[in-house]
Amino acid sequence: DQQVKQNSPSLSVQEGRISILNCDYTNSMFDYFLWYKKYPAEGPTFLISISSIKDKNEDGRFTVFLNKSAKHLSLHIVPSQPGDSAVYFCAASEWEYGNKLVFGAGTILRVKS
């Protein structure tokens, strides 16, 4: 059973608008969450993370929100740009096994110009 779920396989957004990517998790021991971005023919690259002691973390156009009670996190991209078109993976880990990342299936984001 997948512990990290990204239920939307794809998302299409107009340039300049907000992109919202969602992720749900089932393991209550997860206390650190990350988003990775992947372009075709490249490896995933780290985008942004959030610890369970926070409910929001912001880095430029990217903001991650964490709702622990709902076991849900989301990545907001504002404004969306065509270069943001990529696959976005949500990942989670426990402090005890910090290097062990559990990934979601990914969401393909297409930003149309």
Partner 1 sequence: EAQVTQNPRYLITVTGKKLTVTCSQNMNHEYMSWYRQDPGLGLRQIYYSMNVEVTDKGDVPEGYKVSRKEKRNFPLILESPSPNQTSLYFCASSFGGSAGGHETQYFGPGTRLLVL
Write out the residues near partner 1 by the rule CB under 8 A.
2, 4, 6, 9, 32, 34, 36, 41-46, 49, 51, 89, 91, 93, 95-101, 103-106
Which CB, 18 or 46, lies closer to partner 1? 46
> Cβ of residue 39: shortest distance to partner 1, in angstroms?
10
Which of 94, 89, 101 has its CA nearest to residue 22?
A: 89
Q: What six digits make up the tokens of 62? A: 């990217």
> Cβ of residue 99: shortest distance to partner 1, in angstroms?
5
Which CB, 7 or 14, lies closer to partner 1? 7
Distance CA 84, CA 97 (A): 31
Which CB, 15 or 102, lies closer to partner 1? 102
Which CB, 46 or 58, lies closer to partner 1? 46
Distance CA 42, CA 18 (A): 25
Which of 11, 10, 13, 21 has its CA nearest to residue 81?
A: 13
Residue 84 φ then ψ, to 5°: -80, -10
> Cβ of residue 100: shortest distance to partner 1, in angstroms?
7
